[in-house]
């Protein structure tokens, strides 16, 4: 079972998430345990104060270190979790990072608010994490994004695990287009090849589309993708503006 401990001043933020779709199923199956920790429960004063002014002056408030340390120490009595803190300048969250986190048994995520957290909290942090170069009002949406991406990688969570293999970024390329019924909708037809029943050809067409989509939409990814000789040939065809059918007939597939 994978455990997530989320340190937040808004635990209610995670209720819809925990009660929806595959996350809810994973929790019910006992594959995931979601422990949302209200930092106010770890305050010592009667006002349950979690924030304070910034030393040196400046706008806004900061999350105080004491409740965060107290919650961390209690969680660590059982097992020391891998600790993430949400920060706009942290390591950029991506599919590779999600796979790495899927290997950890216990993950704690500290959700910042206001101007952020007292810097001394970093003493317990293993990794700062960002979900992109923009500023959120709190770390909760980031924690939610991270958990969602990691939970679907846990064996038994996604019904058809083959879908993980063909997801975007699983092999450095983006995904291929998919269609469902009806075969013709508002004059738009499902590509004939997908209805041909020729699985070898369908597999090749999908690979072609992945390479084409990556070239057109995310060319930056192609620099790192490890393409086979055949796939490099496909890329040359795409770059020259040729069609899948040209590739098939030229290469006698």
CB of 110 to ligand SAM, least distance (A): 8
Q: Does the footprint of ligand SAM cover residue 115 (CB under 6 A)?
A: yes
CB of 230 to ligand SAM, least distance (A): 39
Of the candidate residues 121, 139, 153, 157, the single one contacting ligand SAM (CB under 6 A): 139
List the catalytic residue out of 52, 115, 148, 231. Answer: 115
Task: Output 139 or 172, the one with its CB closest to ligand SAM.
Answer: 139
What is the rounded distance in angstroms from the CA atom of residue 207 to the CA atom of residue 233?
A: 12
Q: Does 61 bind ligand SAM (CB under 6 A)?
A: no
- Min separation Cβ 6 and ligand SAM, Å: 12
Does the annotation mark 152 as catalytic? yes
Only segment of 10-18, 96-104, 107-115, 223-231 that touches ligand SAM (CB under 6 A): 107-115
Is residue 55 involved in binding ligand SAM (CB under 6 A)?
Answer: no
Cβ nearer to ligand SAM, comparing 50 with 111: 111
Closest by Cα among 47, 49, 36, 39 to 71: 39
Residues binding ligand SAM (CB under 6 A) = 86-88, 111-113, 115-116, 130-132, 134-139, 142
The catalytic residues are 88, 115, 152, 167
């Amino acid at each position: 079972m994978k455990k997530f401990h989320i340190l937040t001043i808004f635990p209610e933020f995670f209720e819809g998430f925990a009660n929806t779709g595959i996350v809810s199923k994973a929790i019910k199956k006992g594959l995931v345990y979601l422990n949302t920790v209200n930092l106010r429960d770890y305050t010592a004063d009667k006002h349950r104060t979690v924030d304070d002014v910034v030393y040196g002056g400046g706008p806004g408030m900061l999350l105080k270190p004491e409740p965060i340390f107290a919650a961390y120490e209690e969680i660590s009595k059982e097992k020391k979790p891998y600790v993430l803190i949400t920060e706009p300048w942290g390591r950029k969250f991506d599919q590779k990072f999600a796979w790495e986190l899927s290997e950890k048994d216990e993950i704690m995520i500290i959700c910042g608010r206001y101007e952020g957290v007292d810097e001394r909290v970093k003493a317990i942090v293993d990794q700062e994490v960002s979900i992109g170069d923009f500023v959120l009002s709190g770390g909760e949406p980031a924690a939610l994004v991270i958990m969602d991406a990691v939970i679907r990688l846990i064996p038994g969570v996604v019904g058809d695990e083959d879908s993980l293999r063909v997801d975007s970024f699983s092999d450095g390329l983006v995904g291929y287009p998919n269609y469902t019924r009806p075969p013709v909708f508002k004059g738009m037809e499902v590509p004939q090849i997908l209805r041909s029943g020729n699985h070898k050809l369908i597999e090749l067409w999908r690979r072609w589309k992945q390479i084409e989509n990556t070239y057109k939409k995310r060319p930056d990814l192609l620099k790192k993708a490890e393409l086979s000789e055949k796939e490099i040939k496909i890329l040359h065809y795409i770059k020259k503006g040729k069609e899948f059918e040209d590739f098939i007939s030229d290469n006698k597939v």
